[in-house]
Amino acid sequence: MESPLETPAVPAGVPSEFAPAAPPARRSSLLREVVETALLTAVIFLIVNAATGRFKIDGSSMEPNLHNDEYVLVDKVTYLLGSPRRGDVVVFYRDRSSKDYIKRVVGLPGETVEMANGVVTIDGLPLSEPYTAPSPKSFPARQLGADEYFMMGDNRSNSQDSRDFGPIERRNIVGRAWIVYWPPSQWAVVSHHSFASAGAP
């Protein structure tokens, strides 16, 4: 006697349109897998979107290291775990401005920053900056507050930065520049300079 749970085999020669339909349980399982895949994709997208940002470079202020019209992926997670360091390339915004900027961290909270004949000094000590396009510009000494960072473009002769609009508060820093992803020919990991190994301030 045939079990009621078994699907009867289709006899040879019987047209396929008369074959029994897939069991409802199988269709339900397939639908569940499609929904789970869609939800997982959405969750991954939200996590990646929350952890990273995208930034288009506008101008030549970060030459010779970053170039006009390049697109950069920004890491938003690193500074949740620690503070910006001197030499980091970061994206930030200014209060009362919708524009984002990309510059290098030069001065840290509590320090006194000065520039004379193109040489930056931190608390009176000269800062070695191998990543810059030199400039003869100067600016007077400025002491940073407990939550302020002094930002400067690598192209010192052509950069609007903290010399013009002042230091940036920690809360205005979006994240750390990570990867140049467009155009493909320029793909590269953004170079951050470490002063700890150089014995600089």
How many C-beta atoms surround the C-beta of residue 117 within 10 A? Answer: 9
Active site residue 61: yes
Q: Are 179 and 191 in contact (CB under 8 A)?
A: no
Active site residue 103: yes
Which is catalytic among the residues 28, 60, 61, 197?
A: 61
The three-state DSSP-derived secondary structure of 4-46 is CCCCCCCCCCCCHHHCCCCCHHHHHHHHHHHHHHHHHHHHHHH
Which is catalytic among the residues 3, 83, 103, 157?
A: 103
Q: How far apart are CA 131 and CA 150, in angstroms?
A: 16
Residue found under tokens 């002063």: 195
- Give me the active site residues, please: 61, 103
